[in-house]
Structure formats: structure tokens, C-alpha cells
Amino acid sequence: MVTSMKRNRLGSSELYVGEIGLGCMSLGTEKQKAIALIHEALERGVNFLDTADLYEDGLNEEIVGEAIRTSGRNRDEIIISTKVGNRRIPGQEGWVWDPSKAYILSSVKGSLKRLGVEYIDLYQLHGGTLEDPIEETIEAFEQLKQEGLVREYGISSIRPNVIREYAARSSIVSVMSQYSLLDRRPEETVLPLLEDKGIGLIARGPVAKGILSPNGRVRSEKGYLDYSAEELPALHDELAQLANEGRSLSQLAIRYSLSHPAVAVAIPGASSLEQLLHNIEASEGEPLTTDELALLRSLTRANLYEQHR
């Protein structure tokens, strides 16, 4: 039986996404295990699956596609999000950045084939710089919309200057960006801009690479952004004390990432059933109160972007 979950409108689009989605990058390459996790997520009310052509050289898209086909659900019940822009060149190590119109128009065909679908709900530019041919990039996405191959498009970026350009010049409905209690950089300019423009934020990394989880103390040894390895354990303990019997630290962190009105969906990753269920259970909790938000902000840093402003 499908569990109900609060749905949010993604920006000004007609895409309505469960407030907690599934970041599929962390599912791994064991196909049957990954498919089982996706099926469980769908059973629990998740309807937003995020992947990219870059993940596992396309294997991640294939796994997502197979999971959808074998889920017993209609295609229109699931919002598929994938990304484009990182190009692999045969015989060459790594990848190159290619936001050209020609590459986007050709690359979408590979994603559609691997996913086994006729259209992509949300197609995202997987990065971006001010040096890109932005008008050409926008033309590509607009053409794909007109052709019915994608329903909507957005960008995945942590660069405020790039986000501003697309917010002003394109009809993006979403921006995917890292956002958590330990990475509050979007609060300065990005979230107010998106709220003003009617663009939805897809919050990735809400648990900050697992640091904001009950066992996250051991994950904080390398530090995180402008938090040193020395200060994170004490902060972890302080934040953990605010979690109560009905809400763990990671669930508290996920609820924080959902607290801004511009945020449509948070996409924690999961590599095990226990992680997946724990993340999804955050949707059953009450939104954070004004006092709780104020306390959390007083304990953490209002980090600022130093580059790409």
C-alpha cells in the first residue's frame, strides 16, 4: 500500500513532487538490490527519482528505468529527473563539460533509451559557468520541451551567478543545489531569488554526507566546508540533543532543508533499506517550529559563497 506523503509543486510547473525524493546516485551497481530500494521508496510515497547520465556511465539510468518498468506503476505516477552536460569522449579519461545545443539534443536520446521512457519529466543542466553559450543551452532545452521529449527543465548548480542568469533568461522550474544545516549558503541570495521567481529548489545533501546522522560523528573527521574536523563532533552532539524520540538527527536535518518555502523536495541518498526508510520517515514528522529553526540557526553557521557570486 502506498504511503501518503506531502506533495509540493515544483516551481511554477505542473510537476507535483513528494517532499522527500530519492537521490539515486548512491544506490550502487548491484542491480537487484538497487531496484528493490526504488520499489520500496515508491511504496512509501516517494515519486521523485533523481539520476544523471554521468552516474556509473549510464548504468544508474538503466537501473532507474528497469525499476520503474517493474514497479507496477503507471508512468505518470513517477517524476523522473536526469541530467546532461558532462560528456565522455571515447578513449579519453574522465569527462569534459559540454553545454552545447548539439550535445544536449543528442545526449537526451541516450538517456531516454537507458531509462526506457518516451519523455523525461525534468531534464537538468548538470553544472554551468558564465562562459557557457547560455542562450544556445536554453534553446536546446526549449526545443526538447516543444518536441515533447522533456516536460520541464532546470539546472543543478551551486553558483549564484549562474543561477541568476538562468533565473533571468530561461523558463527553468528548478535549481538543484546542496543545502543543509552545515551548508546554509543558499539562504543568503539563492533561496530568496528562487522564491521571488517562483522556481523550486531541489535540496541535495540534506544530511551533509552522513555527518548529520545519528552515527555521523565518525564521518566528521575530515571536516565539512568551513567546519573543521575539531569542531564538528561537538556540534554533532549539540544538534543530536535537539532530536527527540520521534525524530532522529538526520530526520531533523531533512526537515530543516525543507523549511524554506522555495524548497520543493529534499533528496537524501540511500544505499540500504534502513537508510531509505529512516529518511522517508522524516516526512511523517511535523515541520520545524519558528523557535526550533531559530535555535538551529544559532548553533550553525550562515555560510557564504566565496566564489561565483
Residue 200 has phi, psi (to 5 degrees) of -90, 145
Digit-coded pLDDT (tens) for 168-193: 999 999 999 999 999 999 999 999 99
Q: Count of CB atoms within 10 A of residue 206's CB?
A: 28
Residue 157 above 80 pLDDT? Answer: yes
Provide the mean pLDDT of the chain. 93
CB 152 within 8 A of CB 122: yes
CA distance 69 to 38: 11
Give CA–CA dist 270/278, Å, rounded: 9
- Domains assigned to the chain: 7-211+258-287 (3.20.20.100)
How sure is the predictor about 1, in pLDDT bands with cuts at 50, 70 and 90? very low
Q: What are 55-71's pLDDT values in tens digits?
A: 777 788 999 999 999 99
Q: Can you say whether residue 289 is alpha, beta or left, with left for phi > 0 and alpha for psi between -120 and 50 degrees?
A: beta
Q: Which triple of cell numbers denotes residue 138?
A: 536554453
Q: Give the mean model confidence (pLDDT) for residues 90-104.
A: 87
Report the sign of the C-alpha dihedral through residues 6, 11, 17, 18, in that order. negative
Residue 55 bears catalytic tag: yes
Q: Compute the CA torsion angle 38, 44, 49, 54 (nearest 10 deg).
A: -40
Q: How confident is the model at residue 2 (pLDDT cuts 50, 70, 90)?
A: low
HEC string of 22-62 equals: EEHHHHCCCHHHHHHHHHHHHHCCCCEEECCCCHHHHHHHH
Q: Name the DSSP class of 183.
A: B
Residue 245 confidence class, pLDDT cut points 50, 70, 90: low
β-pair type (86-87, 263-267): unpaired
Would you say the C-alpha torsion 199, 42, 24, 101 has a positive or negative sign? negative
Contact 160, 117 (CB under 8 A): no
Residue 167 CA to residue 110 CA, distance in Å, equals 27
**Whole-prediction pTM:** 0.95
Largest CA distance in the chain: 56
Q: Of 55, 123, 153, 227, which is the active-site residue?
A: 55
